[in-house]
Structure 1
Amino acid sequence: MNQKLQTVLLLILLPFFAFAQSVITGTVLESNGLPALGATVSVKGTSNGTSTDFDGKYTLNNVPSDAVIVFSFIGYMTQEIPLNGQTSINITLAENPSELDTIVLIGYGSTKKANVTAAQTTVKAEEFNKGAITSPGQLISGKVAGVQVTAASGRPGDGPVIRVRPGSTLGGNQDALYVVDGVPLDQRNASLNTINPADIESFTILKDASATAIYGNRASNGVVLITTKKAKLNSDLKIGYDVQFAVNQVQDYAHVLNADEFRQLVVDQGRDPAVLGDANTDWQNEIYQNGTRAIHNLTVEKGYEATSIRASLGYTNENGTLLRSGYERATLGLNVRQNFLKGDLKLNFTSQLAQEELRRADEGAVGAAVVFDPTQSIFNNTGEFGGFFEYTNSTGPEGNAPRNPLGLLNSLDSQLDNKQARLNLNAAYNIRQVPGLKFTGNAGIDYNEFDEYTIRDFNSGAGARGNNRSFGEGFRRNQLLDGRFEYKRTLESLDTDMDLTLGGSFQDFTRQSTSHSTVNNELQENPIAIDDSALVTAFARASFDIKDLVVLSASASRNGSSRFSKENRWANFYGASAAIKLTNTDFVQNSGFLSQLKLRGGFGQTGQQDIDASFAYLSVFTPGQPQAAVQFGDQFVTTIRPEGSIDLKWETTDQWNAGIDIGFFDDRITGSVDGFYRETKDLLLFGPLPAGGLENGSFQNAGSTLSRGIETSISGKIIQTENMNWTLSANATVQEIEITDLAGADNAPVPVGGISGGTGNTIQEWAVGSDPTSFHVFRQVYDQDGNPLDGVYVDTNGDNIINDADRVRYKKANHDVYFGLTSNFNYKNLDFSFTFRGAAGGYNYNNVDSNSASYGSIFPTNTQTPIYVNSTVDILNTNFSQQRLQSDYYIQKADFIKLDNVSLGYNFPGENVDIRASITGTNLLTITDYDGTDPEVFGGIDNNLFPRNRGLIFGLGFKF
C-alpha cells in the first residue's frame, strides 16, 4: 500500500479512534465504607447509565474515551469524574449537606425531602423544646403548623393532647396514629409517657390523606412517626449523663373572695355572721406547694464496622404542686443494629422498657378550695374527721356541704403502677438476585401491665360519704407482624427514578382488666372486662421522579377490622399526589433570589374504626326486656343475645391538599403554605340521639362533618457566620370545622357538653351548620351600664315566653387561628432559645364562675345546718340571685399568647469531658383577657382545671 493511500485511510479512521467505546467497572461505597446499593453511574449528557449491585459494584458499557462519569446516590453528593483513559473507577461518596437531599420518613418507607409530595413536617432533636420534659409531646409544642399541642393540665405524669388538623370525627378517637420505630400503637392506649423524651431522635407528622392513606383504617386524624436515637457505625465510645432539677409553682389561682371580703358580703346581704368562723384561710394556697422535678439520663453508645449499640437509662421523679400528687418513672432503652452478608441483611432491635408510678391526689380539692368558707379554720378541736374541720349535722357530715380541701387530700391514698415493654425486631434484606429489590419485616409487641388502688380513710368527712376502697389490675397487649417489598430502579430511557412498595400487616389488640370496689361497705369483685380486636392491612405505593422535575405518587390500602360485621369488615382506602420541582428549572436557578420552589397537590381517602367496643355492630338489649343468662354453680352470667345486626361500617374521610414550598437566597429563608379541605361521612356516634336517631346505647353511622384550613410556616437564618447563628421560625394555622349532617330527628341538635351545678345541664351541642364545640345558651340582657340583669334573657323566638326554645348557638371553643414562634441563637459556646405560642378566635365557658358566683350558691338552703359557701369575685359584678348556668355571660374570649419556653446554656469543652450548664423557664408569661386561671382549656368548659405550672429548670450535662 502506497504512502498516499495509507494517509487517506488514517484520516478516514481517525474519528472512529477518537470516539472509541470502552467498558468501565468499579465499586461505589457510602461514606461509612459500606457498599452503596442502587447508586446510579452514568455518562454525563446521555441516557447511558447503570446501577450498583449489593457489593456496590457496577459495569458501564459503551463509554466514550472522553466521557465524564456521574455518580449519584440518595443522601450523598453527586460526583463527576473525567474518564481520561481509565477502565476502572472506585469512589467513596460524601454525604450531601443539602437539606433537600436529606432522607425523610413517609408511611412504610422513606424518600428524599425534595421528593415529598404531601403535607408533612419533620422536627429533629436539635429543634425540640428545652427543659425538664417528661412527656414527648411537649418537645414539639408550637413547632408545627396544623398541629395543636395542648397541655392537658398541670397534673404530674399528664401528657399533652396532640391534634393534627381539626378532628374530623365526633364520637370516635380524635388522636393521631402514633408509630414508634415502625410499630403502630394502640390508639386507645397510646401513652407516649412511657417513652423517654431524651431517647427521641425525631417526629415526622403526616398531615394530609395522600400521605396517610397507606395506613387506611386509622389515619383520618393524621399519623405521627416517632424515631428513637441509634448509634452510628464506626463511631467512638460515647458516654453522656444529664441531670435536670426543676422547681414548679401554680401559675394562677381562681379569683375568690378573701376572708374579709366574704365577711363583708355576708353582712351586706343581711345574713347571720355567727355562721362564720374566726380564721383567715386561703384554701387555694393551702392545697398547693412548690413542686419539684428531677430528671436523670445516662446514655452509652458505640459503633463498630457492622454493629452499633446505644443503651439509655432514665429516671424521673416529680412531686406535684397539688399536695400528695406525684409521678415517678424509670426507663431503659436499647437499640442494636447488626449488618450481615456484607450489609445485605440489616437487623435492628429496639427495646423500650418503662415503669411508672402515678400518685393520684383527690382533685376534688381543687374545686373545694374555690368554694370553702375562708373564715373557717383548717382543723377542728374535736379530733373527728382526721382532725380537719368539716360541716356536720345531727347525723354526721353535712351531705350537701363542700368537704374540707385538705381533708380530701390527706384522707385519700391512690396510686397507679404501670409497666410497659415495647420490643421490635426489624430486618431489611437486599435481594441480591434483583438489584434494587429489598424486603423489610417487623415483628413487634407493645405490652402494658397495670394495677391500681384507691383507699379513703373511713374517719374522714369524705370517707363517711361513700365507697372507700377500690382495686384494679389488668394488661393491654398490642402485637404486630408486617412485611413489605421495596423496589427502586432508574429507568434510563425515561430518565425516571421509580420506587415501588408492596406489603401487608397484621395487628392484634387484647385488653383485660379486673376490679374490686366497695358496695355497702363490702369489697366486691366486678366482672372481668375483656376486649379483643384485630386489624389486617394490605398496602401498596408507587412513586415516580420524572426528569428530576415531576414526582407522581399513589398509595392504596385494603383494611379489615374485627370491630365490624362480615358484610362491612373490609374497606379500601387510597391516596394520590404530585409535585413539580421547579427548583431544578432554569427559571429558579437563574432568578438570582429563588433557591427552592415546589408545587404540591393531592387527594386521599382514609378511615376511622377506633371505637370503644369490640363488637359494636351487635345491637344492645331493649331496655326493660329480660336478658339471657347462663348458670355456673351458684352464679348467673349475663350473655350477649343480639336482637339484630346494625349495619355499622367505617367512618370515611376524603381530603384534598394543595401546597407550595419555597426558598430564597440559598435557602436563608424557607417557607411553605398548605391548604386543605376535608369531608367526613358515616360518623361513628354512640346513642342516644333524639327520636328517629340512634338507638339508645348503641353505635351507628350518623352524620358528617366538613373541615378546611390554611397552614403556613416560615424559617429564616438571620445570622449565619462561623461563630454566630440565629434562626427564627414561625407558623400559623387558620382552620374551621362544621357539622353538615346528623342522623337525629330532622337533624335535631344533640346536647353534648356537660357542666357542673346541676343534673343534666349541658352547655354545648352538636348541630348541623355549626362547629362541634358550639355553645348553646340564653342571650343575656344588660342594663345601660353594661351590667347583666339577673335572669333576664332575650326572647329569641318572639313568643313572649322565656324557655329552652330561646337558647341559641353562640360562639365556639375551637380557635380560628393557632400560631407559634421559635428563636434559636448561639454565639460560640453560648446558646439561647425561646418559644412563643398562641391562639385566637376561641371561647371558654367559665364554669368556675357560673357554678359559684350567685347568692343561691353562697347561701344554700338544702342543708340541715346553716353553712356559707365562698364565691369567685365575679359575684360582685353580677349580683345573680341564683345560678344562671346557661347565660352567655359566661362565654368568654379565650385568645392567648404564651411564652412557653426560654432557655440559656453554655458549653464548657474539655479534653476528656464536655460540660453543658443551662437554665430554662417554662410557662413564664400568659397574655390574655380571659377571667379564668388559664385560657387554654381543652374542649372549652373551664371547670376546676388542675392548674398548669410555671417552672424554673437547672440543667447540667456531661459528655465523655
Structure 2
Amino acid sequence: MKKRIQLISFVSVLLLLTIFSAQAQDKTISGTVKDETNEPLPGVNVIIKGTTIGTTTDFEGQFSINVPSENETLLVTYIGYFDQEITIGNKTKFDIQLKVDAEQLEEVVVVGYGQMEKKDVTGAMSSIKSEDFNQGVMASPDQLIQGKIAGVQMTPSSGEPGAGVNIRVRGGTSLTASNEPLYVIDGFPIDNTASDPGTAGVYAESASKNPLASINPNDIASFDVLKDASATAIYGARGANGVIIITTKKGKEGKAKVDYDAYFGVSQLAKKLGVLSADEYRAATAAEGTSPLDLGANTDWQEVMTRDAITQNHNIGVSGGSSDTQYRVSINYLNQEGIMINSGMERIGGRMNITQKLSNKVKLGANMMGSFTKNNNLPYGVGGALDGGVINNMLRMSPLLPSDYSSSNQLEKNPYIMANSVRDFTNTQRILGNVFVEAEFIEGLTGKLNLGGDITSAKRTAYLPGSIEWVGKGNGSADVRNNNLHNILLEGTFNYTKQFGDFKLNALAGYTYQEFGKEHNYTNATGFDIDETAEHNLNAASGEILVESNKESSKLISWIGRANMSFKDKYVVTATVRADGSSRFGANNKWGVFPSFSAAWRITEEDFLKSSEVLTNLKLRAGWGITGSQEIGNYRSLPTLSGDKQFSAVGIGSGVTYNNYANPDLKWEETTQLNFGFDFEFFRGVVFGTLDFYQKNTSNLLLELQAAQPAPFDKYLENVGELTNQGVEISLNTLNFAKNDFSWETGFVAAYNQNEVKNIGNYNEILTGAVGGRGQTGQFSQVIKPGLPYGTFYGPRYLGLDENGNSIQSEEKEVLGQAIPKWTFGLNNTLRYKKWDFNFFLNAATGHQVFNNTAQEFSNTNDLYSKNSTYNVMKVAVEDGMRSTEFNSRFIEDATFIRLSNMTLGYTFGMDKVKFVSNLRVYVSGQNLFVITDYSGYDPEVNAPAGGGQVPPVGIDYNNYPAARTFIGGLSVGF
C-alpha cells in the first residue's frame, strides 16, 4: 500500500507541474536557416537551449516555435555545420546562416578496436544513440534497442524480471554452439556466460538470468552493431554471430553537471490463459455426470498468483571536467517486482569513467563499473521433480478449491503455498572495467595499451521447507550453489592515420590476450526439522548431503590487422585479418585465420551527382569475409575423467572413468558471408536509410555424434554439417513534417531471413524439442534435417476427433511449421509540438509458428472427468469434446503478431528563470500496451521449452512466466 501511495503522489506531482507550466505565457518565433551559399537547409534542429523544446526546419529551411519567455536562447544544430546559439530577446523573426564545420563532416562511428569516419565504413553496421533508445522499464541494456535494428531479433526467455534474452543477428549460425553475439563494452569483449548457478530439479528451476542485467541502461550512450563478416572479422573466432559494441557515457569539458532520472511504474498481467472458471468447471463435470472435489470455492488461480507489481528506478549522474580531465560518475538503484507473487529483482550499481591528459601526446583513461543484483527466483519451471512448478500448478489447480487448500499429494500442489514457502534467492556481484594508456609517438601514429577485468561472483540459496504438507515434516531440502567467473584482458594496438594527397590510410595492428575462468560448487542437503535457517545451516541435515565442485579455464591469443584506404573520398577499400589461437580446440587446430575484404563507392561524390540537391548521399558497399565460433565449452577436444562413488569397482571409496572422447582434430565452426548494400540520403537528411543483401554459409558445424558401443560415454563432438542464412535488411528514416512548432519523424526497419540446414554428417535427422507433460516421454516436436530450416516443427497432422474425443492424426509425420520468423519489422514515430513530445513504437513478426506445449498438456480432459478431480483444463478442449492429447499440428499455432511495444508522452518545462535547474522533463509511458495475434498463449514472443535434446530447440511455449503490461511516470532533471 505504501508503494502505491508513493506512485499516486508522484504522478499527481507530474500533473500539477504540467498544469502550472501550461499557464506560462508563450510567444511564437519563426525564421529560415540557410547554408553559406544561401541555400535553405531542411531538417536542421532548432531547440531552446537547455530543454527538449524544439522543431526541425521544413523543406524550405523554415521553422516556427513557441518559446516560454523573452530571455531564452536558441540552439541551432546540423550535422556538418557549426552549432550556433542565438539570443532571442524581443525578436520574433530570424534569418540564420550556418557555417560548414569540416571536422564535423567526418562523423565517426565505433568499430572494432577504434573509431572510423562513417563515410569510410565499408561493412554492414547499424548505430543507435541514446536519444533513440526504447523507453520504459529497462532492466538490461539489450532492451534499449529491441526491435530498433534491422536483422537483430530479440526473444525473451520469459517475462520474469532479469530473464535471459535470445539475440540473433542475421539468424543463427550454429546448431549446438552458442548463437549469441559478442558484446564489447568500452573496448572490452566480455564473456556473456550466464552467471546464475542454477538449482537442483526439485525446485522446478527458473529460466536462466540475463548477464547484461547487471549493467545500468542509464549509463549507455550508444550501440554499434556489426553485422557482416567484413565488419566482424576483426573479432575472428567470436564474430560469426555478430558483434554489439556498447559505448557508455563520458564526461565533457565544462562545469559540473548533475542529472537525476527517476520513474515509478506498475505492471500487470497482460493476458490470462483460457482455463475453466469455477462455474464452467461445475457445468462441464455436471454434464458428464462426474463428481470433482468441490470445496465451494470460486478461485481464479491466475488472479491469486499475480499482482500489480511496482517498479522504481533512480539514477544520478555527475559529469564535467577541464581540457585535461573529463569525468562522469553515476549511481543507480532499480527495484522491479515481478507480476507473479514473490518474484522480482533489485539492483544497485555505480560507474566511473575518467580520462586524463598527461601531456599533449599521452592520455590515461579508466572505465569502471560495480553492481550488486538480488533476484527473488520464482520456482515456476517444470523440469524438476514433484510434478512441476508454480505456473504449471497455477493452471492445473481446480477453481473449486480455496487458496489455502493443502494436500499431502504432491500432484495437488497449491501454487500459492509453494510460491510463498519456497525461498530461492540469487545474489550476484560484478566488477567490470578497463584502464588504458594512449600515446602518440609520431604524427599519425598512436599506440594504446588496454588492461581489463570482469569478475563475477554469484550465490544461489534455495530451500523447500518440510512445513509444506506434500513435502512432509523433516523432509526439507536445501540447495546452495556458487559460481565465480573471471575474464582478464590484455591488448596492445597501434593505429596509423596518414593522408597522401587524395589518398588516405588508416591502419591498425595489434595483439590481444584473454583468459576466462570459472569455479562452481554446490551442496544439496535433505532432512531438516527446522525450516527457518536450513539453507544457511547445512550441518543440521539428517539426510544425505551431496557435494560437487569443478574448475575450468580457457585462453584466447590473437593477432589482428586492418587497413582502410580511400581515394578522393570516393573509393574506399578495407582489408582485415585476425589470427586466433584457442585452448578449446584440438592439438591439430589450435589456430584459425579469419580474413575479410570490403569496398565502397561513394557515388554522390562523382561529378555527375555531386551538385544534386535531391540525392545527397549514395554509397554502394560490398564485402566478403570469414568468421568463427569457439563457444563449445572447455576441454571438448581432450580425454577427460569423472570421479564419483558410483565408479568404485569394489563399492568402497570412489573411482574414475572417461567422460569425453579425445578429438585432436576438433576445430572452429566457420561462417563465410557475402554482403551487398546501399546507403542513401535524399534532401540532405529528410529521407535516409540503408538496404543490405547477405548470404551466410556456416561449415564445420559442431555436432554430438553417437559413440560406438561399448564405450564409457554415449556421444562425442565432431565437425560435421553445414547450414546457410540469406536475407534482406531495410532501414528507412523520414522527416515527414516540420512546420509551425510541429514535427513528425518516422523510423522503419524490416528484415527477411531464410535459414536452411544443408548437412548433418551421417545423420538423416536429429529430433529435438522434447514434448512436456505426463505421458509424453520420448516425444519430440522439432527435427533437424537437410533441406529444412533450423527450428522446423515436425509431427503428425491433426485431422479431428473420433467419437471418444481422441485425436485423429496422420500416420506419417510431416513438416508442421518453423519457429524462426521470416520477416521482422519495427516502426518508430516521434512527434513534437511546442513543449510536448510523443513517441510510439510498434514491432511485428510473421512467417513462423509456436508450439503451445502448455495448451497441449491442459487439453487432456480425462483429468477433469476423473472422480474427485482437482485438475483444471483449457475451456476450448471441453468445448471441442477433446479427451486425451498427443503432439500434433493442432498445437502448432501461427505466431504472427503486431505489438505496441511503447508509447510515451512527455512535457519539457522552460527553466530559464530557475537558477539551479537547467532542464526538467516529465513523462508518462506504457509498455506492451497491446498485441494483435491469433496465438492463444500468454505471448507469441517466447522460447521456454520443456527440454532440448541433441540440438537446443526454439519457439516452444511450456508453462512460461507471463508477459506484463506496464505503465510508468518519470522525470529527468538537470542541475
TM bucket (normalised to shorter chain) is 0.7 to 0.9
Structure 2 residue 629 is the aligned partner of structure 1 residue 608: yes
Structure 2 residue 951 is the aligned partner of structure 1 residue 932: no
- Larger mean Cα displacement after TM superposition, 313-322 or 752-761: 752-761
Quote the residue 2:235 is aligned against.
215
Quote the residue 2:860 is aligned against.
854
Shift of 1:536: 0.7
Structure 2 residue 408 is the aligned partner of structure 1 residue 377: no
Deviation string 1:522-551 (CA, Å, 9 cap, x unpaired) is 362422121111111111001101111110
Deviation string 1:238-266 (CA, Å, 9 cap, x unpaired) is 01111110100011111111011111111
Shift of 1:950: 0.4
- Sort the Cα spacing of 1:491 and 1:903 in 2 relative to 1 into closer, same or farther, 3 A: same
Structure 2 residue 960 is the aligned partner of structure 1 residue 955: no
Shift of 1:665: 1.2
Quote the residue 1:63 is aligned against.
none
Shift of 1:959: 0.7
Shift of 1:272: 2.3
Structure 2 residue 477 is the aligned partner of structure 1 residue 468: yes
Q: Structure 2 CA distance, aligned partners of 1:97 and 1:567?
A: 52
- Sort the Cα spacing of 1:678 and 1:915 in 2 relative to 1 into closer, same or farther, 3 A: same
Of 799, 818, 826, the match for 1:820:
826
- Larger mean Cα displacement after TM superposition, 447-456 or 461-470: 461-470
> Which letter does structure 2 place at the counterpart of 1:915?
L
- Secondary structure of 1:853's aligned partner: coil
Shift of 1:602: 0.4
Quote the residue 1:869 is aligned against.
871
Quote the residue 1:147 is aligned against.
152
Structure 2 residue 807 is the aligned partner of structure 1 residue 791: yes
- Sort the Cα spacing of 1:959 and 1:159 in 2 relative to 1 into closer, same or farther, 3 A: farther
Quote the residue 1:53 is aligned against.
none
Q: Spell out the pairing of 1:478-877 with structure 2 (5 A cutoff).
A: 478-492=487-501, 495-518=502-525, 522=543, 524-612=545-633, 614-619=634-639, 636=654, 638=656, 644-688=662-706, 696-720=714-738, 723-745=741-763, 747-757=764-774, 758-782=776-800, 790-795=806-811, 806-859=812-865, 866-877=868-879
Q: Structure 2 CA distance, aligned partners of 1:694 and 1:600?
A: 53
Q: Spell out the pairing of 1:147-166 with structure 2 (5 A cutoff).
A: 147-166=152-171
RMSD across aligned C-alpha pairs, in angstroms?
Answer: 2.9
Cα pair 1:454 1:471 within 8 Å, conserved: yes
Q: Structure 2 CA distance, aligned partners of 1:905 and 1:98?
A: 34
Q: Structure 1 CA distance, aligned partners of 2:794 and 2:712?
A: 21
> Which letter does structure 2 place at the counterpart of 1:451?
K
Of 403, 407, 414, the match for 2:424:
414
- Sort the Cα spacing of 1:627 and 1:848 in 2 relative to 1 into closer, same or farther, 3 A: closer
Q: Structure 1 CA distance, aligned partners of 2:312 and 2:642?
A: 54
Cα pair 1:709 1:734 within 8 Å, conserved: yes
- Tell me the percent identity: 31
Cα pair 2:589 2:664 within 8 Å, conserved: no
Shift of 1:698: 2.7
Q: Structure 1 CA distance, aligned partners of 2:939 and 2:308?
A: 19
Deviation string 1:861-884 (CA, Å, 9 cap, x unpaired) is xxxx84341101121343222122
- Sort the Cα spacing of 1:679 and 1:126 in 2 relative to 1 into closer, same or farther, 3 A: same
Q: Structure 1 CA distance, aligned partners of 2:766 and 2:635?
A: 27
Gaps of at least 5 residues in structure 1 are 1-74, 79-92, 380-387, 391-396, 796-805
- Secondary structure of 2:604's aligned partner: helix
Q: Structure 2 CA distance, aligned partners of 1:940 and 1:619?
A: 35
Cα pair 2:357 2:363 within 8 Å, conserved: yes
- Secondary structure of 2:351's aligned partner: strand
TM-score w.r.t. structure 2 length? 0.81
> Which letter does structure 1 place at the counterpart of 2:461?
Y
Deviation string 1:799-848 (CA, Å, 9 cap, x unpaired) is xxxxxxx1122211111100000012223322111110010011011111
Structure 2 residue 412 is the aligned partner of structure 1 residue 402: yes
Cα pair 1:629 1:638 within 8 Å, conserved: no
Gaps of at least 5 residues in structure 2 are 1-78, 83-97, 195-209, 381-388, 528-541, 944-953
Q: Structure 2 CA distance, aligned partners of 1:591 and 1:429?
A: 42
Cα pair 1:899 1:923 within 8 Å, conserved: yes
Of 316, 319, 323, the match for 1:301:
319
Quote the residue 1:278 is aligned against.
296
Structure 2 residue 447 is the aligned partner of structure 1 residue 431: no
- Secondary structure of 1:260's aligned partner: helix
Of 324, 330, 355, the match for 2:372:
355
Shift of 1:630: 14
> Which letter does structure 1 place at the counterpart of 2:877?
I
- Secondary structure of 1:666's aligned partner: helix
Deviation string 1:173-199 (CA, Å, 9 cap, x unpaired) is 111000000110113248111111000
Deviation string 1:572-612 (CA, Å, 9 cap, x unpaired) is 11111000001211232344410110000101100111123
- Sort the Cα spacing of 1:649 and 1:719 in 2 relative to 1 into closer, same or farther, 3 A: same
Shift of 1:728: 0.3
Shift of 1:519: 5.2
Shift of 1:297: 0.4
Structure 2 residue 880 is the aligned partner of structure 1 residue 878: yes
> Which letter does structure 2 place at the counterpart of 1:507?
Q
Shift of 1:237: 1.1
Structure 2 residue 258 is the aligned partner of structure 1 residue 239: yes
Shift of 1:625: 14
> Which letter does structure 1 place at the counterpart of 2:904?
S
Deviation string 1:876-910 (CA, Å, 9 cap, x unpaired) is 343222122x2111111000000001111111132
- Sort the Cα spacing of 1:876 and 1:474 in 2 relative to 1 into closer, same or farther, 3 A: closer
Of 168, 177, 194, the match for 2:214:
194
Cα pair 2:350 2:369 within 8 Å, conserved: yes
Quote the residue 1:25 is aligned against.
none
Shift of 1:442: 0.9
Q: Structure 2 CA distance, aligned partners of 1:624 and 1:133?
A: 44
Deviation string 1:25-71 (CA, Å, 9 cap, x unpaired) is xxxxxxxxxxxxxxxxxxxxxxxxxxxxxxxxxxxxxxxxxxxxxxx
> Which letter does structure 2 place at the counterpart of 1:792?
I
Q: Structure 2 CA distance, aligned partners of 1:122 and 1:313?
A: 26
- Secondary structure of 1:583's aligned partner: helix
- Secondary structure of 1:934's aligned partner: coil
- Sort the Cα spacing of 1:100 and 1:773 in 2 relative to 1 into closer, same or farther, 3 A: farther
Shift of 1:289: 0.5
- Secondary structure of 1:514's aligned partner: strand
Q: Structure 1 CA distance, aligned partners of 2:333 and 2:300?
A: 35
TM-score w.r.t. structure 1 length? 0.82
Quote the residue 1:185 is aligned against.
190
- Sort the Cα spacing of 1:457 and 1:690 in 2 relative to 1 into closer, same or farther, 3 A: same
Quote the residue 1:48 is aligned against.
none
Q: Structure 2 CA distance, aligned partners of 1:624 and 1:353?
A: 38
- Secondary structure of 2:685's aligned partner: coil
Structure 2 residue 933 is the aligned partner of structure 1 residue 923: no
Structure number with greater CO (CA < 8 Å, separation at least 6) is: 2
Deviation string 1:544-579 (CA, Å, 9 cap, x unpaired) is 011111100010000011111221111111111000
> Which letter does structure 1 place at the counterpart of 2:173?
S
Shift of 1:135: 1.2
Quote the residue 1:366 is aligned against.
391
- Sort the Cα spacing of 1:868 and 1:834 in 2 relative to 1 into closer, same or farther, 3 A: same
- Secondary structure of 1:463's aligned partner: coil
Quote the residue 2:335 is aligned against.
317
Quote the residue 2:958 is aligned against.
943
- Sort the Cα spacing of 1:131 and 1:695 in 2 relative to 1 into closer, same or farther, 3 A: same
Q: Structure 2 CA distance, aligned partners of 1:695 and 1:573?
A: 34
Q: Structure 1 CA distance, aligned partners of 2:100 and 2:673?
A: 36
Q: Structure 1 CA distance, aligned partners of 2:134 and 2:218?
A: 11
Q: Structure 2 CA distance, aligned partners of 1:743 and 1:624?
A: 34
- Sort the Cα spacing of 1:946 and 1:462 in 2 relative to 1 into closer, same or farther, 3 A: farther
Q: Structure 2 CA distance, aligned partners of 1:959 and 1:410?
A: 42
Q: Structure 1 CA distance, aligned partners of 2:591 and 2:425?
A: 41
Cα pair 1:138 1:160 within 8 Å, conserved: no
Shift of 1:619: 4.4
